[in-house]
């Protein structure tokens, strides 16, 4: 398990729409977007505040790889 903060708010609705095959976002049930990455096999809980929880990694390198992959995606959905 790992956690981090990208220090900017995220448009979760846009992310869920654009990455629907990996995302589950039901704000009435849970405030975060659930992003299921395939490679590495990691699940990310992404919150509008920019905070992220990464779970399911077997080794630390998978957490780093998952974060580096998702960070470029999150920058596209940064709230103005």
Q: What is the CATH number of the domain that holds 40?
A: 3.30.310.10
pLDDT at 11 over 90: yes
Give the total number of structural domains in the chain: 1
**Which stretch of DSSP H or E encloses residue 71?**
helix 60-76
Q: Which domain holds residue 6?
A: 2-76
Asked if residue 62 lies in contact with residue 39, where contact means CB atoms within 8 angstroms, the answer is no
Within 10 A of 51 (CB to CB), how many other CB atoms are there?
15
pLDDT band at 37 (very low <50, low <70, confident <90, very high): very high
The confidence score (pLDDT) of residue 49 equals 97
The confidence score (pLDDT) of residue 80 equals 87
- For the question of whether the overall pTM of this predicted structure is more than 0.75, the answer is yes
Question: Mean pLDDT throughout 51-73?
Answer: 96
- In 1-80, DSSP assigns E strands to 2-5, 23-24, 33-37, 42-46, 51-55
């Amino acid at each position: 398990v790992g956690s981090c903060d990208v220090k900017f708010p995220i448009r979760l609705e846009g992310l869920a729409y654009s990455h629907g095959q990996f995302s589950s976002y039901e704000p009435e049930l849970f405030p975060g977007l659930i992003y299921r990455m395939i490679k590495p096999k990691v699940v990310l809980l992404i919150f509008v505040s920019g905070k992220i929880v990464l779970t399911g990694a077997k080794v630390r390198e998978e957490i780093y790889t998952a974060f580096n992959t998702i960070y470029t995606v999150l920058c596209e959905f940064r709230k103005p």
